[in-house]
Amino acid sequence: MKQRIFGLIAAAGLLAAGAPALAHHSVQAEFDMSKTGKFVGELKRFANINPHPRWFFEAQNPDGTVTPFEISAGGGRNRARNMGILRSFKVGDTYTVTYAPAWNGANVGRMRDIVFPDGRVVTIFHADPNNPLDN
């Protein structure tokens, strides 16, 4: 009986330990790091959703329609806080965003650079955006 209980506890522990590994994903699997997209859009919402900060924009098209974009960045809550990201963005301001597009063609991307309304350029990317192993 003790062996059976120990076996169940051990199996539950292994399953629980494997759950975080299943949740993690590859940047290269989600985004085409060899391509770059760009848009000018109004920030509608900024969310520091663990583990990635996310920006929600609406880009105005020439015909007057609006295209929504969701852009994420690497790093976790602490990195975003340490970089001052949480206090830097203002909903309603217009930003120019350069990003790596999603493989599936959705209006989703991985942040490379963002140009603030005052002209400041911030690169929100790891050391070398041209090296697919360094992001």
User: At 96, which CATH number?
Assistant: 2.40.50.140
**What pTM value is reported for the model?**
0.70
Of 91, 108, 90, 87, the C-alpha closest to 99 is 108
User: Does a structural domain hold residue 118?
Assistant: yes
Within a domain: 53: yes
Asked whether residue 7 is domain-assigned, the answer is: no
pLDDT tens digits, the chain, 135 residues: what are they? 556 655 556 555 555 544 444 445 567 778 888 899 999 999 999 887 766 788 999 999 999 999 999 998 876 555 555 556 667 889 999 999 999 999 999 999 998 899 999 999 988 765 455 555 554
Residue 134 lies inside a defined structural domain of this protein: no
How far apart, in whole angstroms, are the C-alpha atoms of residue 135 and residue 126? 5
Q: Is residue 79 part of a domain?
A: yes
Asked if residue 116 belongs to a domain, the reply is yes
Domain count, the chain: 1
